[in-house]
């Protein structure tokens, strides 16, 4: 008998490698933008609150996904910092 905690949280509304149009609604403690698709949390690298962006999902976990921006509108008051290229 299980107690409700499993790695299988059902089908996800996003797929790795696919692109989606989202709005960044919050910022995480690490500084990444947070968007949601059908309530599913997506952490968007370099996303800013209020930004509309096209993102590409890079990883999907049981409770959230991570993504990078493909393109996006200019964010209000961009944060200073180093942009590292992989």
Question: CATH number for the domain including 31?
Answer: 2.40.50.140
Total tally of structural domains belonging to the chain = 1
Query: Taking the complete model, does pTM exceed 0.85, yes or no?
Result: no
Please check whether residue 49 lies inside any domain of the structure.
Answer: yes
Please check whether residue 40 lies inside any domain of the structure.
Answer: yes
Domain residue limits at 31: 19-72
What are 45's two structure tokens?
Answer: 């690298």
7-50 pLDDT, tens digit each: 457 889 999 999 999 999 999 999 999 999 999 999 999 999 99
Please check whether residue 77 lies inside any domain of the structure.
Answer: no
Cα–Cα separations (whole angstroms), residue 60 to 3, 9, 83, 84: 23, 12, 24, 22
Please check whether residue 28 lies inside any domain of the structure.
Answer: yes
Please check whether residue 10 lies inside any domain of the structure.
Answer: no
Position 72 scores a pLDDT of 65
d(CA 72, CA 75): 8
Q: Nearest Cα to 13, choosing from 34, 40, 31, 33?
A: 40
Q: Nearest Cα to 44, choosing from 16, 58, 74?
A: 58
């Amino acid at each position: 008998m299980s107690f409700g905690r499993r790695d299988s949280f059902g089908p996800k509304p996003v797929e790795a490698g696919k692109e989606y149009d989202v709005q960044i609604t919050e910022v995480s403690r690490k500084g990444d933008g947070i968007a949601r698709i059908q309530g599913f949390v997506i952490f968007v690298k370099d996303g800013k609150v209020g930004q509309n962006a096209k993102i590409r999902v890079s990883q999907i976990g049981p409770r959230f996904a991570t993504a990078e921006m493909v393109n996006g509108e200019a964010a209000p008051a961009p944060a200073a910092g180093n942009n590292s290229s992989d």
